[in-house]
């Protein structure tokens, strides 16, 4: 049995009554539906492909007899044997988006450069983080994607997603490009540096939208204390979202007013994200309350 | 645009799974129709909830979830 011919035969039922001949589509993408979509389109006399991706040919199982359904299932098995992949609606578009994100020149370079210095799990997490960043830049809702990363890669994955969105891995890749040809370059040291960046998120604090003001202030103070304790005299606060940006700016201004030793080196808004770079001396650790 | 893809809508999921001798158990996981106690696993060894089911690919028979890491893997396998 030719699976494509069988599916095309069943598709005829779904698109009967239309003036255009969708059956003549060359190498169509078959779309299995169970009532709803096709019927409503047919009854309104609109082309069936309006609601489907280009070159789609709908097969409506609700229109098939029990015998026809069994024949269709046989054809589907044969289709799988012939390298067809079965994907839930919207999934092809999501996979296209993933591919676009990985093929984007800057992302491709970032992933290629850093892959040898990351474990396979961290590299997989970085790829997912790159997708998330790409989708966020396109203005899409990334809450589910972030949840997927946390579910799969845990707290470390969440940190990597934050660091990636804030451009830290791009900075690391730039640094690597500059220094890897130097005789002093040590691959193991760079690997450790990347690991420290991820595990400690040393210079950064990602202020969350749902942190109340008191928690935000405490998190900033804690990060300054930790960094000062390690001899790191700086922290970069990241905040996404208008309210979040306003909150963090008000809190840092109040801290600076109370502790003049803390200085704001930079305060920028880049692609909808506030980046506030604070610098401070070691002795601040004892004074902060 | 992906090639060699047969799409299906949410309402057709059970029909598609049934085509490949799979069913859904009382807890909502995809299982073998011939053995309802045997849950179907992703290539990474994860059980799949019916609600998370994203697709099937040849390679014996590979089932995928609809989360970002799974879709990245599926994308790689479809290259």
- Residues A267-281: pLDDT tens digits? 998 777 788 999 999
- Residues A50-91: pLDDT tens digits? 466 767 788 889 889 999 999 999 999 999 998 899 999 889
pLDDT of residue A47: 46
Predicted TM-score of the model (pTM): 0.76
- Residue A84 is nearest to which of B6, B11, B74, comparing CB atoms? B6
**Rounded Cα–Cα distance for residues A268 and A277 (Å):** 9
- Residues A121-157: pLDDT tens digits? 999 999 999 999 999 999 998 999 999 999 999 989 9
**Rounded Cα–Cα distance for residues A170 and A165 (Å):** 9
pLDDT at A198 over 50: yes
| First CA to last CA distance, chain B | 12
Chain centroid to Cα A176, Å, comes to 24
ipTM of the complex: 0.95
- Residues A152-172: pLDDT tens digits? 999 899 989 988 987 788 878
**Rounded Cα–Cα distance for residues A214 and A236 (Å):** 19
Residue B74's CB is within 10 A of a number of other CB atoms, namely: 25
Q: In this structure, what token pair is assigned to residue A231?
A: 């001899």
Those of residues 55-94 in A touching chain B at CB distance below 8 A are 56, 61, 69, 72-73, 76-77, 79-81, 83-89, 91-92, 94
Return the higher-pLDDT residue of A186 and A230: A186
Q: Hey, is the C-beta of A103 within 8 angstroms of any chain B C-beta?
A: no
Residue A157's CB is within 10 A of a number of other CB atoms, namely: 24
């Amino acid at each position: 049995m030719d699976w494509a011919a069988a599916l095309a035969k069943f598709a005829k039922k779904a698109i009967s009554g239309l003036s255009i001949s969708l059956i003549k589509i060359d190498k169509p993408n078959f779309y299995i539906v169970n009532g709803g979509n096709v019927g409503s389109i047919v009854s309104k006399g609109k082309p069936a492909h309006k609601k489907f991706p280009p070159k789609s040919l709908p097969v409506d199982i609700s229109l098939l007899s029990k015998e026809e359904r069994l024949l269709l299932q046989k054809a589907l098995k044969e289709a799988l044997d012939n390298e067809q992949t079965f994907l839930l609606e919207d999934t092809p578009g999501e996979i296209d988006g993933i591919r676009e994100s990985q093929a984007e020149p800057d992302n491709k370079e970032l992933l290629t450069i850093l892959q040898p210095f990351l474990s396979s799990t961290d590299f997989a997490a970085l790829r997912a983080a790159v997708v998330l960043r790409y989708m966020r830049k396109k203005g899409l809702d990334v809450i589910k994607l972030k949840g997927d990363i946390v579910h799969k890669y845990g707290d470390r994955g969440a940190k990597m997603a934050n660091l990636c969105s804030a451009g830290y891995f791009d900075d690391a890749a730039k640094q690597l490009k500059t220094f890897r040809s130097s005789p002093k370059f040590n691959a193991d040291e760079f690997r450790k540096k990347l690991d420290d960046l991820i595990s400690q998120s040393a210079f950064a604090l990602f202020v969350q939208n749902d942190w109340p003001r008191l928690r935000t202030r405490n998190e900033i103070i804690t990060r300054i204390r930790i960094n000062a304790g390690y001899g790191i005299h700086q922290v970069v606060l990241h905040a996404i979202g208008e309210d979040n940006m306003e909150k963090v700016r008000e809190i840092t201004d109040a801290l600076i007013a109370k502790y003049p030793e803390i200085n704001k080196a930079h305060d920028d808004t880049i692609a909808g994200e506030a980046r506030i770079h604070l610098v401070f001396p070691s002795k601040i650790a004892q004074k902060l309350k | 645009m992906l090639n060699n893809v047969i799409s299906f809508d949410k309402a057709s999921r059970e029909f598609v799974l049934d085509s490949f001798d799979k069913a859904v158990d009382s807890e909502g996981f995809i299982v073998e129709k011939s053995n309802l106690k045997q849950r179907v696993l992703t290539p990474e060894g994860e059980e799949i909830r019916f609600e998370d089911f994203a697709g099937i690919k040849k390679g014996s028979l590979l089932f995928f979830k609809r989360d970002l890491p799974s879709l990245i893997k599926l994308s790689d396998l479809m290259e």
